[in-house]
Structure 1
Amino acid sequence: MRSEALGGTLLTKRLALPIFASDPLSSVAYATQEILLVLTLGGLAYLHFTPWIAAAVVALMTVVVLSYRQVVHAYPSGGGSYEVASTNLGPSAGLVVAASLMVDYVMTVAVSVASGVDNIISAVPRLADYRVPMALVFVALLSAMNLRGVRESGRAFAAPTYLFIGGVLIMVATGLFRYALGDAPVSESAAYGVTPRPGDADLMGLALVMLVLRAFSSGCTALTGVEAISNGVPAFRRPKPRNAATTLAAMGIIAVTMFVGVTTLALITDVHITDDACRLTGLGGDCADHTQRTVIAQVASAVFGSDSVGFYFIQAATALVLILAANTAYNGFPLLTSILAQHRYLPRQLHNRGDRLAFSNGILALAITAGLLLWGFGANVTSLIHLYILGVFTSFTLSQSGMVRHWNRELRTETAPAVRRGHRIARVINATGAVVTGLVLIIVLATKFTQGAWLAVLAATLLWLMMRAVRRHYDSVAAELAVTDAHSELAPPSRVFAIVLVSTVHKPTMRALAYARAFRPDRLEALTVSVDPEGVAEVRSKWQEYDIQVPLTVLDSPYREITRPVVGYVRSIRRAGPRDVVAVFIPEYVVGHWWENALHNQTALWLKSRLLFTPGVMVISVPWQLHSSRRADRPAGRAPGAVRRGEPAPPGPSGGEPVGGHDGPA
């Protein structure tokens, strides 16, 4: 796609919702489950806390959505939390947000895909042994779709997201209708008891509070991905801020409705789920062979029937949308890394768009990192979930704190009463968000740190340090390359000393000599390395036969090295004339197929890599295209995957091969 076609990739609200909000929408499939898994550590006695915890999650979701609507309007350029924190709290705070979000985006892909695979296994238990390969295949498919472009991926992912929303809402309505008629659905695990973990049976005081807070922090996974819309404002159609804010509000309403509905049905159907199936009582079989279905699977089975079309529809839609929920990260992560690369905190390659106007390098980096996590943790949701949500609440807290400063600055200059009133209301919303999300961040750290969250903290810290190091490098390079005295920089060198490297006298050598003469250097000579007396004699003979009017210098190399004598000779010339420039001409030929490179040595690469580190030395490649490279240059005849590379004509006599790619030692 041409660069000017970028405007055609902008999104309507209908497409933006599944692209940017699939993560928070799909998290209702496991947020309730994570609350129940923590509460059942103490058996069934603490399940009565579930409604209160769910209510706290809903209140938090409302505050966060309202807060990010302020961000969307105040910072529509797409930086989101990173831009807010950098502008109002300083670059270091902005990098903390960026590092936290990058870790969280990677975890979004890993957790979403692993949870989707879990739901597939709930419907087809015999696939349990293929958990990791399935997860990796799904990551590869997601990456391929996103490499096609934002709009194309949105079209592919829109239908499953809307089918999931419709299916869950129908399930909730059906279950509540049956409950109202006195025919309450009952889950398959309702008859099972739960044996408390040792020490968790009769918790009191602070221990009970910590258990409830831990369940709350696990339920806060429902909020992951909320900030993605604020990062993706530039991808919306005009008016961008208003469309993004509307999409954010729609996402919040739908996510809260589904979360409340699933949690209510889980309590009505009396779902019992544990971290270890062997703590379930009344199984009547070997607990090691028992595969627990997910909460949403048990609810769907209770409402529609275990082998009904409705059950399989919910499972298929849930598995699909959970896998596609990773698409939120596939849009947020590349956008964020592109902005960071533009600000010189990450390699500049991450700022470049690919052929389909997507940030291809960011997509590939995300896919590789998430794939390694899934492989390392066995695609296990319970293991991965402890590394989750820490980063997102770090960004929530710093972003909302930065917005408070933003409104304070605006109020100092604004005089219109109506506008000031709006700024004050926005400041109250953001201040509330900062306090609430800050408390949740403390809770998450306190309850999950020793269970694996320390890995997320370590990863974010290393990212923060790496980005600062990258910025220092780019700043130092920019300072070193800046023109300080244009007159002196444009001053020509005292003399130009040209050297043509010779291995044998053939067409590439003759072209290199002619090209070097065209430069009209102050001094020109040919240079060869003697690793074989017979080869040197042949070069001298050809030199005289062809009457080449260029001095030929022969360097002795008793240890059959080529690179070291050449580099030493060039440096000796530089020492003799520090203001001189040495131009080294390297004849090399170009092959047309990748496998032909393997038939020749790569002496030129070694020579270039060594000479480029020598001040005052210019390295000039003089290519000679073989017939195979000319054939490969034709679009119809070029073999798939064929590459054309310069092959050296090294400055040592080959004694066998007619063209400079001999197999002698470099």
Structure 2
Amino acid sequence: MISSIKRFLIGRPLKSTELGEQKLSKTKALAILSSDALSSVAYGPEQILIVLITVGAAAFWYSIPIAIGVLILLTALILSYRQIIFSYPHGGGAYVVSKENLGVIPGLVAGGSLLVDYILTVAVSVSAGTDALTSAFPLLHSYNVVIAIVFVVLITILNLRGVTESASILAYPVYLFVLALFILIGVGIYHIVSEQVSPGLHTPIGTPVAGISLFILLKAFASGSSALTGVEAISNAIPNFKNPAPNNAAKTLIAMGAFLAVLFSGIIFLAYYYGIAPSEKVTVVSQIAEDTFGRNFMYYFIQGTTALILILAANTGYSAFPLLAVNLAKDKFIPRMFTIRGDRLGYSNGIMILGIASVILIIAFKGRTEHLIPLYAVGVFIPFTLSQTGMIIKWIREKPKGWIPKLTINTIGALISFIVMLMFFLTKFTQVWPVLIFLPIIIFVFYQIKKHYEAVGDQLRVSTSELSIPIEGNVMIVPVAGITQVVENSLNYAKSLSPEQIIAVYVAFEREDEKKFEEKWKKWQPDIRLVTLHSYYRSIIQPLTKFIDIVEHKASESNYQVTVIIPQFIPKKGWHNILHNQSSILIRTILLYRRNVVITTVPYHLKK
């Protein structure tokens, strides 16, 4: 039944030879890997206005120069990550760049930040999409968390079906969103040019504003830079592209940057000219759409596509998180299970962990996007800064042909990214302080995992200097609960191995039962030694393990191996298991931690 449900939700397993068919074209990759960056247009401009409104609506004209600053940073990041794509064509992004050029610890800081950031990507995107949905349908406000969780579950299942299938489905909403915003911006500008919008709605650019300061402007700039989250995703996901992967990834990155620049600029300009003020109940995009079209089909089309892309922007996290996890797992900093491909050739363990962590985060923050965005943004600008700095070191050290322009691009990107990161810590410390707690913890865990894998490797490595002691013989211990076919099956198996000694062990709770069983055993299996143990406290485990320890100690003196053969019957139907004590499972679990004891389970399958 479980297998049937899995097949229905995820689809048939794919052969390893079909991996090439799961690669993304530029068109699909743009939709999947750019959805996070493009969706941030829906809340990035709003974050600028939220800061400026503290001074007053007259300060909204500052959103124009701030937007220009964000576009400069976007250009530097796009050009820089284009260089990273060609320098590190196997993916890994900021983690690989930082580790190879700055050292292991900076690499782990970048990798840890991005892992957490991709979880935040899913939580923020889905929460923002839910906000857009409830802006259009206010009655749904009280169900924000439930709606967000349902969306996370659906996107997780979709990604478990494979990269190509999810890309085929998710590409349409992304391009519909881009089309909707182009229509909105185009019609909005037409209304402005045709003087259908009153110039009195906004303050003219250059108007002096009391109370404005450099600190507030930098805070607004840092907040607006949250629109650049997701820019790094393409450099992490190069292995997902069709060949030539680096060229296709670079072209997709440029296209993403162009779309993002146009949409971000257009929304900022319309918000300024329309005199839009941020509201807790209605998003800025929703207000612009309503002022432009009214509450008609186009308004709901824009709100619908905005909600969809905000939700589907989570897919960037699902595309990049598993690949980053693979790089960290190959370096033994996180569990190796992240390197295993699932039935549909995707890294399903990474996908499922991402989905679970995102749901926990949504519940913890109650789906409040504004509480998540600062933490989300600072988690991006830490690896931004480290990757740019790593590339600076790379160009200075290697000095390839034409390295000066490349160095200049990375230097500009590193400086602006550092300023933005610093502003987040200075202006929103109460919201971003968890970064200072979880990053050291994550790095500590990384090192503990690495230490464990190295210790395991040292112990498992075959060394000619350490000769193993040969086993001289075998002692079989068979715990028995009665005279049954299950026990007989296990004893026959033990006899077939020709051990030096077979010992059947019976644990009795009453003295009368002990004597009766010994008499029956002599008649049934006179050739096999029976040891009966009396349990004063009605426990099978304690006397049995104590006896096994005694036998093991004596056997080790003669280089004998102790093997415990556990009889176990298997019911025909799975639910029948709950009707039985499952003592065999408990015994096996306890004995697994005995260093010099081998455990063998002999199953006996019931027919009805």
TM-score bracket for the superposition, by shorter chain length: over 0.9
Q: Mind listing any 5+ residue stretches in structure 1 that lack a counterpart?
A: 193-200, 276-290, 412-419, 629-666
Find the aligned partners of 1:395 and 1:359 in 2 and give their Cα distance: 23
Q: CA RMSD in A?
A: 1.9
In structure 2, stretches of 5+ residues that fail to align are 1-13, 204-208
Counterpart in the other structure of 2:596? 616
Kept in 2, the 8 Å contact 1:13–1:236? The answer is yes
Which residue is equivalent to 2:7? none
What is the TM-score with the length of structure 2 in the denominator? 0.93
Task: Tell me which of 479, 488, 511 is aligned to 2:489.
Answer: 511
Match of 2:309 in 1: 321
**CA offset at residue 552 of structure 1?**
0.9
Matched with 1:332 is 320
Change (3 A) 1:547 1:153: closer
Does the 8 Å CA contact 1:21/1:251 hold for their aligned counterparts? yes
Q: Does 1:499 align with 2:477?
A: yes
Alignment counterpart, residue 184 of structure 2, candidates 164, 171, 174: 171
Deviation string 1:247-266 (CA, Å, 9 cap, x unpaired) is: 00000010000000010011
Preserved CA contact (<8 Å) 1:498 1:525: yes
Which of 346, 366, 384 does residue 334 from structure 2 map onto? Answer: 346
> 1:659: which partner in 2?
none
Aligned-partner Cα distance in 2 for 1:165–1:561: 68
* Pairwise CA distance, 1:191: 10
User: 1:456 & 1:109 partners in 2: Cα distance?
Assistant: 18
Contact 1:377–1:384 (8 Å) recurs in 2: yes
Q: Which amino acid is the alignment partner of residue 350 of structure 1?
A: F
Aligned to 2:393: 405
> After the TM superposition, which of the residue ranges 382-391 and 237-246 deviates more from structure 2?
382-391
Deviations 1:627-651 (A, max 9, x none): 15xxxxxxxxxxxxxxxxxxxxxxx
Question: Taking CA–CA contacts closer than 8 Å with sequence separation of 6 or more, which of the two structures ends up with the larger relative contact order?
Answer: 2
Q: Which residue of 2 aligns with 1:648?
A: none
- The residue that corresponds to 1:247 in the other structure is 252
- Name the counterpart of 1:303: 292
Select 2:542's aligned residue among 545, 564, 567: 564
Which residue of structure 2 aligns with residue 33 of structure 1? Answer: 46
Query: 1:485 and 1:535 mapped to 2: Cα distance?
Result: 53
The worse-fitting range, judged by mean Cα deviation, of 571-580 and 94-103 is 571-580
Task: Quickly say closer, same or farther: Cα 1:518–1:441, change in 2 above 3 A.
Answer: same
Distance 1:48 1:175 in 2: 17
* 1:82 matched to 2:95: yes
Equivalent residue for 2:409, pick from 416, 429, 439: 429
* Match status 1:597 vs 2:580: no
| Distance in 2 between residues matched to 1:300 and 1:373, nearest whole Å | 31
1:65 equivalent among 78, 94, 99: 78
Inter-partner Cα distance in structure 1 for 2:25 and 2:202 = 48
Shift in alpha-carbon separation, 1:559–1:177, aligned structure 2, 3 A: same
Alignment correspondent of 2:442: 463
- TM-score of the aligned structures, taking structure 1 as reference length: 0.85
AA partner of residue 623 (structure 1)? P
Pairwise CA distance, 1:575 = 2.2
- State whether residues 96 and 107 of structure 2, in contact with CA within 8 Å, keep that contact through their aligned partners in structure 1: yes
In the aligned structure 2, how far is the partner of 1:222 from the partner of 1:511?
68
Partner amino acid, structure 2, of 1:203? G
Count of aligned residue pairs for this structure pair: 588
TM-superposed CA distance for 1:79, in Å, is 1.1
1:255-299, Cα deviation, whole Å (9 max, x unpaired): 000000010011111101256xxxxxxxxxxxxxxx3x2111111
Q: Distance in 2 between matches of 1:617 and 1:567?
A: 11
SS at match of 1:27: helix
8 Å Cα contact 1:103-1:456 kept in structure 2: no
1:213 touches 1:447 (CA, 8 Å); kept in 2? Answer: no
Distance (Å, rounded) in 2 between the aligned partners of 1:202 and 1:614: 76
Aligned to 2:379: 391
Task: Answer yes or no: is 1:155 the counterpart of 2:153.
Answer: no
Equivalent position to 2:464, from 485, 497, 502: 485
2:19 aligned partner, one-letter code? L
Bigger share in helix? 2
Instruction: Give me the whole-angstrom Cα distance separating, in 2, the residues matched to 1:210 and 1:432.
Output: 21
Q: Does 1:130 align with 2:108?
A: no
Which residue type is aligned with residue 227 of structure 1? E
Candidates 123, 132, 136, aligned match of 1:110? 123
Bigger Cα displacement from structure 2, 3-12 vs 385-394: 385-394
Residues 509-548 of structure 1 mapped to structure 2, 5 A cutoff: 509-548=487-526
Shift of 1:486: 7.3
CA deviation after TM superposition for structure 1 residue 186, in Å: 8.7
Matched-pair contact (CA < 8 Å) for 1:496–1:523: yes
Cα distance between partner residues in 2 of 1:480 and 1:253: 53
Indicate yes or no: 2:283 matched with 1:294: yes
Alpha-carbon distance, 1:169 to partner: 1.0
1:551 and 2:499 correspond = no
